[in-house]
DNA sequence: GCCGTTTTCGGCCCGACTGTTTTCAGTCG
């Protein structure tokens, strides 16, 4: 059985190969868009195809791609991709990971020398062969040689929580510089994505070049990649890339919107603007070459006939339509949380200090008057799951699904458990491929709560959270804390459920009484 | 390859930076 992400991967691989081949860039984008649609879908494409669902109803999927997806699902293979792989050596695809080398230059190199590996590329760069190609100067050759050594770590991403501290530190550092008015971190960091690839920082300052000079002297900068009049890029000692951009005060809103993304959201906004005879860029919104908005994000959205959309929702997953139908969610906030239903018993005092009204503890038995205590027990849902094995006393049972098991077993476990939690390891890119559509429908029916662990590496995908909420499943955001510090993890859970469109009413521990 | 309240053809987001030339293409975000 092929998973959604496997289908998506095949399509984006095809896009890479078509790119090197020099195909129409818009066709390539179509493949990438379709891959994105599939990756972002909570629906199992295997199931959709089997049920005869019309895939062309989905955004970015037309007749051709629908046929291709059906082929992938039914045969497990994509003949078009297989053919391209035979035609284009893998070495050329590897070259895409070299800074400064894109499809055009790779094709140019291949056509001239038939090089098919990074090793050969290095040789040709070193012995002066590459210089012979038009527009390959000494600087570019050096860049390529450097790039071969340190390939762009494909999609190297940091957990949001792991960059939080450094992001705030750089912000503070920049604000100390005289003449710096505003420092704002945009990009996926601002959208609170579970992982971020780099940090995009905007500054409003009197004299940008001076700020840039100061910026590249930040203590953890390992390498200065570029430093221009409006933009500078550096790498830190942990390989995190930081982009700093100068922004004028009048354009602040437009720039913030632009650099917050996501790209897919921006493209939609621009399309809307075009339809209305306007143009949106990072400097503002223009009508007949006249600037009509740009000072604030609110202004930008208003200019194109929309309401303000929270950064966490800007993924082109229906937020624009929701705004137009007046159905945008009123997102939950950290301050809405009234308790934490999965912590160590030793942390109850701290929980009281945080102002929590109740907690769920995994161990020990405590009686207290100042806070309501629920006793919970965690149990793994696997083939051998058997409720009668549990002979301790408890208020609620938390079922944990750690592996891909038959949907039937999970449905059966629902007779016994009150909460369900699903395994995920973001760094290791491991997540369960289960029939969540069916599981969530049943959970909603039986009033089983979806436990959202706030551990940064175990956050369940926001796509699944959104789908669960739509089906009527309630959430419990838990820190699963073992230490004092981990009690505050709950903010990461909040970030994630906000990305999953959660309102306070969807979250049981945002209530004074959770049950 | 997708898409359409002017369109089934002709568009498809847009600008900065770099390195190469000398007006621009390629790459990147």
Nucleotide closest to residue A227 (CA–C1'): B17
What pLDDT is stored for residue A398 in this prediction? 94
Among A281, A297, A324, which residue terminates a domain? Answer: A324
Q: Within this chain, do residues A449 and A338 fall inside the same structural domain, yes or no?
A: yes
Strand ranges, E, within A371-416: 372-380, 396-401
Q: Determine how β-strand A419-422 pairs with β-strand A449-453.
A: parallel
Q: Determine how β-strand A396-401 pairs with β-strand A419-422.
A: parallel
A229 touches strand B (CB under 7 A): yes
A411 touches strand B (CB under 7 A): no
Q: Within this chain, do residues A117 and A230 fall inside the same structural domain, yes or no?
A: no
CB A439 within 8 A of CB A432: no
Nucleotide closest to residue A152 (CA–C1'): B28
Among A199, A229, A247, which residue terminates a domain? Answer: A247
Residue A431 lies in a domain: yes
A26 touches strand B (CB under 7 A): yes
Residue A145 lies in a domain: yes
**Minimum-distance residue to B12 (CA–C1'):** A26
What pLDDT is stored for residue A230 in this prediction? 81
Q: Within this chain, do residues A506 and A372 fall inside the same structural domain, yes or no?
A: yes
Q: Determine how β-strand A195-196 pairs with β-strand A198-205.
A: unpaired
Residues in chain A: 515
A380 is written with which tokens? 């793994």
The range of the structural domain enclosing residue A147 comes to 4-153
**Minimum-distance residue to B14 (CA–C1'):** A281
CATH number at residue A242: 3.30.460.10
Nucleotides of B under 7 A from a protein CB: 1-3, 11-21, 25-29
Counted domains in chain A:
4
Q: What are the b/e assignments for A359-385, b being 16+ CB within 10 Å?
A: bbbbeeeeeeeebebbbbbbbebeeeb
CATH number at residue A320: 3.30.210.10
Q: Within this chain, do residues A352 and A439 fall inside the same structural domain, yes or no?
A: yes
Give the CA-to-C1' distance from A104 to B19 in angstroms. 15
Q: Within this chain, do residues A134 and A230 fall inside the same structural domain, yes or no?
A: no
Q: Within this chain, do residues A264 and A198 fall inside the same structural domain, yes or no?
A: no
CATH number at residue A420: 3.20.20.140
A197 is written with which tokens? 């690839």
Which residue carries 């940091």 as its tokens? A158
DSSP state of A133: S
What pLDDT is stored for residue A33 in this prediction? 87
A128 touches strand B (CB under 7 A): no
Give the CA-to-C1' distance from A160 to B25 in angstroms. 36
Greatest Cα pair distance, chain A, in angstroms, is 82
What pLDDT is stored for residue A459 in this prediction? 96
Residue A515 lies in a domain: no
A133 is written with which tokens? 């190609």
CATH number at residue A130: 1.10.150.110
Give the CA-to-C1' distance from A101 to B25 in angstroms. 13
A262 touches strand B (CB under 7 A): no
Residue A222 lies in a domain: yes
Q: Which region, left, alpha or beta, applies to residue A414 given φ > 0 means left and ψ of -120 to 50 means alpha?
A: alpha
Sign for the CA dihedral angle at A129, A130, A131, A132 comes to positive
A155 touches strand B (CB under 7 A): no
A63 touches strand B (CB under 7 A): yes
Its pTM stands at 0.84
Strand B: which residues 281-320 of A lie within 7 A (CB)?
281-283
Q: Within this chain, do residues A9 and A127 fall inside the same structural domain, yes or no?
A: yes
Phi, psi for A246 (deg, rounded to 5): -80, 135
Strand B: which residues 162-201 of A lie within 7 A (CB)?
200
Low-confidence spans in chain A with pLDDT less than 70: 152-156, 386-392
What pLDDT is stored for residue A64 in this prediction? 92
Q: Within this chain, do residues A243 and A265 fall inside the same structural domain, yes or no?
A: no
CB A476 within 8 A of CB A497: no
CB A35 within 8 A of CB A12: yes
Crossing angle of helices A4-21 and A25-39, in 10° steps, is: 170
Among A122, A153, A184, which residue terminates a domain? Answer: A153
A135 touches strand B (CB under 7 A): yes
Strand B: which residues 64-83 of A lie within 7 A (CB)?
64-66
Q: Within this chain, do residues A223 and A283 fall inside the same structural domain, yes or no?
A: no
């Amino acid at each position: 059985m092929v998973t959604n992400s496997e289908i998506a991967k095949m399509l984006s691989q095809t896009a890479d190969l078509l790119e090197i081949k020099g195909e129409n860039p818009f066709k390539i984008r179509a493949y990438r868009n379709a891959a994105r649609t599939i990756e972002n879908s909570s629906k199992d494409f295997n199931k959709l195809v089997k049920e005869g669902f019309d895939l062309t109803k989905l955004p970015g999927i037309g007749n051709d791609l629908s046929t291709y997806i059906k082929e992938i699902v039914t045969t497990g293979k994509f003949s078009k991709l297989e053919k391209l792989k035979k035609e284009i050596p893998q070495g050329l695809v590897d070259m895409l990971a070299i800074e400064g080398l894109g499809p055009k230059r790779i094709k140019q190199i291949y056509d001239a020398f038939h090089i098919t590996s990074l090793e050969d590329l290095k040789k040709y760069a070193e012995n002066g062969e590459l210089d012979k190609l038009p527009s390959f100067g000494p600087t570019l050759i050096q860049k390529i040689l450097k790039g071969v050594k340190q390939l762009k770590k494909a999609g190297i991403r940091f957990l949001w929580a792991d960059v939080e501290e450094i992001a705030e530190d750089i912000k503070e550092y920049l604000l100390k510089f005289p003449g710096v008015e505003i420092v704002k971190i945009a990009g996926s960091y601002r959208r609170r994505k579970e992982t971020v690839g780099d940090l995009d920082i905007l500054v409003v300052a009197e004299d940008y070049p001076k700020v840039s000079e100061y910026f590249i002297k930040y203590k953890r900068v390992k390498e200065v990649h570029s430093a221009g009049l409006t933009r500078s890029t550096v790498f830190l000692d942990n390989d995190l890339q930081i982009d700093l951009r100068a922004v004028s005060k009048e354009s602040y809103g437009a720039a913030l919107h632009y650099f917050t993304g996501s790209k897919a959201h921006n493209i939609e906004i621009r399309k809307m603007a075009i339809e209305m005879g306007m143009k949106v860029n990072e400097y503002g919104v223009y009508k007949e070459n006249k600037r009509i908005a740009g000072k604030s994000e609110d202004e930008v959205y208003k200019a194109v006939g929309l309401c303000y959309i929270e950064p966490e929702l800007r993924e082109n997953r229906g937020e624009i339509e929701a705004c137009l139908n007046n159905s945008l969610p009123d997102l939950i906030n950290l301050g809405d949380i009234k308790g934490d239903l999965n912590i160590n018993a030793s942390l109850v005092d701290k929980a009281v200090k945080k102002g929590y009204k109740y907690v769920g503890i995994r161990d020990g038995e405590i009686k207290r008057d100042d806070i309501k205590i629920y006793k919970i027990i965690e149990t793994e849902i696997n083939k051998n799951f058997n409720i009668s094995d549990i002979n301790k006393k408890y208020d609620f049972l938390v079922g944990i699904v750690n592996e891909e098991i038959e949907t039937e077993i999970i449905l059966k476990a629902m007779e016994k458990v009150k909460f369900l939690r699903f395994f995920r390891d973001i760094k290791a890119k491991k997540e369960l491929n289960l029939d969540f559509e069916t599981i969530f429908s049943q959970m909603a029916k039986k009033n089983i709560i979806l436990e959202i662990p706030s551990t940064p590496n175990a956050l369940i995908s926001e796509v699944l959270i959104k789908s669960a909420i739509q089906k009527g499943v309630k959430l419990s955001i838990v820190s699963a804390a073992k230490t004092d510090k981990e009690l505050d993890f709950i903010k990461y859970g909040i970030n994630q459920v906000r990305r999953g469109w959660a309102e306070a009413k969807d979250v049981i521990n945002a209530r004074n009484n959770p049950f």
